[in-house]
Amino acid sequence: MNPLESRLEYPLGETVAVPGHKLPIAPGVYWIRKSLPFALDHINLWLLRDEFDSRDGWTVIDCGIGSTQTREAWESVIANELDGLPIVRVLCTHTHPDHLGNAGWLCARFGAPLWMTLGEYTMGRLLQGALPGTDGPGIVEHYRAHGLTDREHIANLGQRTNYFPKLVPEMPFAFRRIQDGESIAIGGERWRVITGFGHSPEHAALYCAELGVLISGDMLLPRISTNVSVHALEPEGNPLTLFLDSIDRFTPLDENTLVLPSHGRPFRRLHERVRQLHDHHAARLDEVRALCRAPTSANDVMPVMFKRELDSHQMFFALGEALAHLHTLWYRHELTRQRGADGVYRFELA
Ligand SMILES: [Zn+2]
């Protein structure tokens, strides 16, 4: 456990949900863990006992990627863990495939509606199609403009295809929009939607004051910092500022709130975690300021911010995150931006 993590409190200790079985977390709230075939090797999903639309059953929060393996794991949950009751509603915190992948499949199977924010649902529908400009060649163009010259990375990025439809094979053709501040009744409790930005278009976290539980999705994770990247689809984006403003929306909640994150273990001390994330990014921004005494591209920032050797997949996220830090200072007018004769954007202290 790293020193920052040790300042958080893990009320369940080392206990984690066993794949295929639900673990009770709070009255009517259960934890399900599914494995992922990525470096981030698991995702947490939440099952909430519910009565919805005159049906007794379960509301599922997030679904896992749409793979055969995850669906087999779902089959065992459906057979053994739902007390013979149906899934009556699927709610996804955001559109990333590990959260949304099986939504279409579960909704069709149980005749259940999908609840999501408009930003997340529409982005998912968009990513299901062909996306010229944001696939391999589009990514290469975006990153070349930010200084990437490494031939191997460029060749690998050029091969990148839109992986989304493979991991999210289908989506319901209609959805129920949820919005910031909305109070949703689930299992006799009221859950308030708290939207967040910077990691994805319009992420929804859910807070139940009565239970003292926050389902934080990817917006508040105990061990890793949430990925915040400037992508080819929105090359002028300012996602880190959006993210830092968004996590402040959690600070009015009680410090003792039990936070249920999408990755890692349930934890308490959310104010401490919000502070840690601000400190982490403030330190990265200081590094960027120091570099920008001279004209600096995102590709120059990346090795300072990420000191280990990166493969092309990790580099894809690292360069996007380096650029997010530059853009934060650029939007604050602390940096100016020039495009050189080589077509590369460089930033310098104003
Ligand atoms: Zn995510």
pLDDT in tens, the chain (350 residues): 788 888 999 999 989 888 888 999 999 999 999 887 766 778 999 999 999 999 999 999 999 999 999 999 999 999 999 999 999 999 999 999 999 999 999 999 999 999 999 999 999 999 998 777 778 899 999 999 999 999 999 999 999 888 899 999 999 999 999 999 999 999 999 999 999 999 999 999 999 999 999 999 999 999 999 999 999 999 999 999 999 999 999 999 999 999 999 999 999 999 999 999 999 999 999 999 999 999 999 999 999 999 999 999 899 999 999 999 999 999 999 999 999 999 999 999 99
List of residues 6+ apart from 243 with CB closer than 8 A: 196, 197, 198, 199, 219, 226, 228
**Protein residues placing their CB within 5 Å of the ion ligand 1:** 96, 218
Summarize pLDDT for 243-281 with one digit per residue, the tens: 999 999 999 999 999 999 999 999 999 999 999 999 999
DSSP sequence for 315-348: HHHHHHHHHHHHHHHHHTTSEEEEE-TTS-EEEE
Instruction: Name the burial class of residue 276, with classes exposed (0-12), middle (13-18) and buried (19+) by CB atoms within 10 angstroms of its CB.
Output: middle
First to last CA, the chain: 40
What separation in Å is there between the alpha carbon of 43 and the centre of ligand 1?
10
What separation in Å is there between the alpha carbon of 336 and the centre of ligand 1?
30
Mind listing the domains of the chain with CATH numbers? Answer: 3-286 (3.60.15.10)
Of 306, 311, 194, 350, residue with least CA distance to 259: 194
What separation in Å is there between the alpha carbon of 18 and the centre of ligand 1?
22
Rounded to whole angstroms, the Cα distance separating 142 from 247 reads 28
Rounded to whole angstroms, the Cα distance separating 120 from 125 reads 9
What separation in Å is there between the alpha carbon of 166 and the centre of ligand 1?
16
What separation in Å is there between the alpha carbon of 322 and the centre of ligand 1?
18
What separation in Å is there between the alpha carbon of 338 and the centre of ligand 1?
32
Q: State which amino acid sits at residue 12.
A: L
What separation in Å is there between the alpha carbon of 199 and the centre of ligand 1?
6
| DSSP single-letter state for residue 248 | G
What separation in Å is there between the alpha carbon of 271 and the centre of ligand 1?
21
Structure pTM?
0.96
Q: Tokens 């002028």 label which residue?
A: 236
What separation in Å is there between the alpha carbon of 293 and the centre of ligand 1?
34
Rounded to whole angstroms, the Cα distance separating 50 from 94 reads 21
Q: 70 by DSSP, 3-state: which? A: helix
Summarize pLDDT for 103-151 with one digit per residue, the tens: 999 999 999 999 999 999 999 999 998 777 778 899 999 999 999 999 9
What separation in Å is there between the alpha carbon of 263 and the centre of ligand 1?
10
